[in-house]
Amino acid sequence: DEFQTYSWKKVVWICLSALNSAFQLIPDHPLITDEEYIINRAIRKPDLKVRCIKVQKIRYVWNNLEGQFQKIGSLEDWLSSAKIHVKFGSGLTTEEQEIRRLICGPNTIDVEITPIWKLLIKEVLNPFYIFQLFSVCLWFSEDYKEYAFAIIIMSIISIALTVYDLREQSVKLHHLVESHNSITVSVCEKKAGVQELESRFLVPGDLLILTGNKVQMPCDAILIDGSCVVDEGMLTGESIPVTKTPLPKMDSSVPWKTQSEADYKRHVLFCGTEVIQARGACSGTVKAVVLQTGFNTAKGDLVRSILYPKPMNFKLYRDAIMFLLCLVGTATIGMIYTLCVYVLSGEPPEEVVKKALDVITIAVPPALPAALTTGIIYAQRRLKKRGIFCISPQRINVCGQLNLVCFDKTGTLTRDGLDLWGVVPCDRSGMITSRSSILAWRNRTKALSLFSFSFQEVHNFASGKALPWGPLYAAMASCHSLILLDGTIHGDPLDLKMFEATTWEMVVSGHDFHIKGAPACAMVVKPCKPASQVPVAGIAILHQFPFSSALQRMTVIAQEMGGDWLAFMKGAPERVASFCQPETVPTSFVSELQIYTTQGFRVIGLAYKKLEMDHHTTALMR
C-alpha cells in the first residue's frame, strides 16, 4: 500500500453462473459486453468468473484489459454529468442490480467485535512481555521471588486493563455503525418502478428516491433532481445545515467532479449524514444516484481510519527505539565483561550464565512496559471523562510534546452567535446608481456590522428605526440559505441575524397553501404585520446557489410577487465587487472596507441585478 506495507491476500473467484436461476446470463449478454465499465472488464469470458481480493475491508477485482486489480464499489471517476443522467437517471434494471450486487458485495459497514482471546494473544506476544517472562524465569531460578511476583502481578493488571479498553472500544464501534445496515430505502428500477428494499442491497448506480424529512443516508449518492438540506455534523462537526444542489446536466465529456468551478461535494449526499429536508423540483421527487457503497463511502472511510490507523513515524518513537538500542548495547557490553570476570574467577558455568543474563535485566528494566501502559491507560481515562475518544492510545505520549495548537476558525474558540451592528446603505442620489452592497459581521467577543456600498450615514439597528425599502433590504430578506423546518427557521447564524433584522417571515408555497404570484413549493419571504410598509407583498426564492468557500460567494434567483426577477449575490466584498460593473463600485471602496475590517468586523458584500427570464430557473448555471 502507500505506506510500503506488504501483506498476503487470498484470491477469491466469484461465479456469475449463480445468477442463472434468476435470468439466463451468457457471455454475449448485452449487460456484460460493454467493457466501458470496470465491472464488465473484470468478468472473464466465457466461464463468467471474476477474480477478487479484499484488503482492509475494500474489495478489488482483476481488470482483464489492464492486467491489474482495481477498487470496486463505486461509480467510475471518468463519468460525465450527462452520462450519469442518461445512464442512471431512470434507474438500473433488475439484471444489472443482481450483477453489481454479486460483484460489488453488500452495502454494509460491518465491524466485528474482536474476541477477547485474540486481544489477549496479541498483547501477550508483545516483545516487552516476552522479555518480562524471560526475566521472571531467571529471577525464580535465582530464588529472587518477591520482585518476580511483583512484576507478574503488575504485568497481569497491565494486560487486563489494556485488553478491557480495547474490547470496550471494539464494542462501541460495532454499535456505532450497525444501524447503518438496517435502513429501508426507496429505489427506482427501470422496469419495475419504485420499490422498497433494505439498504444493504444497494449497488452503485441505483436511483434513490428521497421522501420526507429526517432521512439517514445509507450510502454516498449524487443528487440529480431536487434539493436537500443536510446535517453533516457526523463528518465535519459543523452544526450548521448544508444545502445540496442537483448535478447539472452538461453536454461535455469532462468528468463530473471537475466540470464546474464549484466544489463537487455540493452535489453529493454523504453516507451517515441526515437529510433534514428534501424538496423536489418540477417533477416533485428528489432523486439521487448511488455513488459509493459500504466501506468506500465517507462513513466507511472514517471507520477504516479507526480500524487501520496510519503508521506514524514520530521523532518520539525514533528516540525511544534509539534509547532501547543504547540500553541493549550497554547490557551487551556488561554481559561480555561479566562473562570474562566470572570465567577467569573459575565460577561454575551455570552461575556464569545466570550472572551474565542478570546484567541484561538490570540494564533493560522489565517493569518499563507495564509502567508505560499504566500511564497511558490513566491518561486515556482522564480524556474519557472530558468526552474525548482516543482511537490510538499510543499517540497520547506524542500529544504531550505539543507546544502549539492551531484552529481553523474563530468559532472554535469564541462564543456562538453574532450581533448586528448596522448598515451603510447605497446612495441612489449620486452620479451613478450603485449595484453593489456589503454586509459586515463580527463575533460577540467584539461586535457585528452590516453595511452597503454607497456610503450614506450608518443605519444602526439598535436605534429602532426601520431600514428604508430598496435592493439592500430585498437582499437581506432573500439572499440566504435558511430553511423552514417544523415552523422554525434554521441555518447559518449570520444569515439568521440578517433575516431577523428585516422583521419579515418565511413561508413555503405549496399545493395546499399557494401564495398568489409565487411558484409551487417555492420559499417565500414576506413582511410581518408589524413590519414597516413596503411596496411588495413578498419575495419568492426560486433558485439557490449555496455558498462555496472556494468561490467565496452565494447567489439566489428571486422574484418579487408579480414583479421583477432579481439575482442577489452575497460573499467576500472583494469577490462580489469583481462581478459588479466598475462604474457602480464607489472609488472609496477599499479604504471604507479597511475601516471596518481593521475594527474586527466580519464584512460581507452584496450585489444585485435585474433579470430577463425566458426559461426555467433550474436550467441556470452558476
CA 622/CA 620 separation, integer angstroms = 7
User: Phi then psi for 497, rounded to 5 degrees?
Assistant: -65, -40
Section 317-326 average pLDDT:
77
Q: For residue 421, what are the CA distances in angstroms to 100, 443, 463, 601, 604? A: 57, 11, 10, 9, 13
Asked which of 252, 287, 309 is the last residue of a domain, the reply is: 309
Do 300 and 435 fall into the same domain?
no
Q: What is the pLDDT of residues 45-72, one digit of tens each?
A: 888 889 999 988 899 999 988 889 999 9
Domain extent, residue 94, equals 78-309
Select which of 1, 408, 416, 486 is catalytic. 408
Tally of residues, the chain: 622
Residue 513 confidence (pLDDT) above 60: no
Do 46 and 170 fall into the same domain?
no
- Domain membership flag for residue 100: yes
Section 337-353 average pLDDT:
82
Q: What is the pLDDT of residue 208?
A: 93
Q: Which of 420, 547, 567 is nearest to 496 (CA)?
A: 420
Residue 443 confidence (pLDDT) above 80: no
Do 7 and 97 fall into the same domain?
no
* Band (431; pLDDT cuts 50, 70, 90): very low
- The pLDDT > 90 percentage for the chain reads 11
225 in active site: no
Q: What is the pLDDT of residues 389-429, one digit of tens each?
A: 776 677 787 777 788 887 765 555 555 566 777 777 666 43
Q: What H or E segment, with its residue span, contains residue 167? A: helix 145-178
Do 54 and 155 fall into the same domain?
no
| pTM score above 0.85 | no
- Domain membership flag for residue 124: yes
Asked which of 309, 340, 362 is the last residue of a domain, the reply is: 309
Q: For position 585, which CATH number holds?
A: 3.40.1110
Q: What is the pLDDT of residue 446?
A: 32
Q: For residue 481, what are the CA distances in angstroms to 187, 301, 331, 419, 421? A: 29, 29, 69, 19, 21
- The residues pairing with 287 across neighbouring beta strands, listed in sequence order, are 209, 225
* Band (222; pLDDT cuts 50, 70, 90): very high
Residue 514 confidence (pLDDT) above 80: no
Do 246 and 222 fall into the same domain?
yes
Residue 81 confidence (pLDDT) above 60: yes
CA 108/CA 219 separation, integer angstroms = 9
Q: Enter the C-alpha cell of residue 261.
A: 468551478
Do 461 and 487 fall into the same domain?
yes
- Domain membership flag for residue 350: no
Do 8 and 113 fall into the same domain?
no
Q: Enter the C-alpha cell of residue 569.
A: 449575490
Number of domains the chain contains: 3
> What's the gap between Cα 470 and its chain centre?
40
CA 293/CA 290 separation, integer angstroms = 8
Q: What is the pLDDT of residue 348?
A: 84
Section 273-289 average pLDDT:
82
Q: What is the pLDDT of residue 62?
A: 92
> DSSP string spanning 325-336?
HHHHHHHHHHHH
Question: 309 versus 92: which is more confidently predicted?
Answer: 92
CA 434/CA 561 separation, integer angstroms = 24
Q: What is the pLDDT of residues 576-605, one digit of tens each?
A: 888 888 888 877 788 888 888 888 788 888
Residue 282 confidence (pLDDT) above 70: no
Q: Which of 367, 357, 352, 353 is nearest to 334 (CA)?
A: 357
- Domain membership flag for residue 328: no
Q: Enter the C-alpha cell of residue 355.
A: 550472572
Residue 75 confidence (pLDDT) above 50: yes
Q: Which of 532, 530, 571 is nearest to 552 (CA)?
A: 571
- Domain membership flag for residue 341: no
Do 500 and 579 fall into the same domain?
yes
Do 213 and 303 fall into the same domain?
yes
Do 263 and 204 fall into the same domain?
yes
Section 479-508 average pLDDT:
84
> What's the gap between Cα 62 and its chain centre?
29
Do 613 and 524 fall into the same domain?
yes
Q: Enter the C-alpha cell of residue 311.
A: 503508521
Q: What is the pLDDT of residues 235-266, one digit of tens each?
A: 776 777 888 888 888 888 888 888 766 678 88
Task: Tell me how many helices (H) and strands (E) the chain has.
Answer: 17, 25
- Domain membership flag for residue 362: no
CA 292/CA 280 separation, integer angstroms = 23
- The pLDDT > 70 percentage for the chain reads 83
CA 279/CA 618 separation, integer angstroms = 13
Do 39 and 172 fall into the same domain?
no
Asked which of 51, 72, 93 is the last residue of a domain, the reply is: 72
Q: Enter the C-alpha cell of residue 50.
A: 471474476
- Domain membership flag for residue 414: no
Residue 452 confidence (pLDDT) above 50: no
Q: Enter the C-alpha cell of residue 194.
A: 419504485
Q: What is the pLDDT of residue 206?
A: 93
Q: Which of 247, 300, 301, 240 is nearest to 276 (CA)?
A: 240
pLDDT mean across residues, the chain: 80
Residue 140 confidence (pLDDT) above 80: yes
Q: Which of 29, 196, 38, 39 is nearest to 102 (CA)?
A: 39
Angle at alpha carbon of residue 424, lines to 528 and 470, rounded to 5°: 45
> DSSP string spanning 497-516?
HHHHHTTEEEEE--SSS--T
Q: Enter the C-alpha cell of residue 121.
A: 494473544
- Domain membership flag for residue 137: yes
Q: What is the pLDDT of residue 444?
A: 38
Q: What is the pLDDT of residue 53?
A: 92
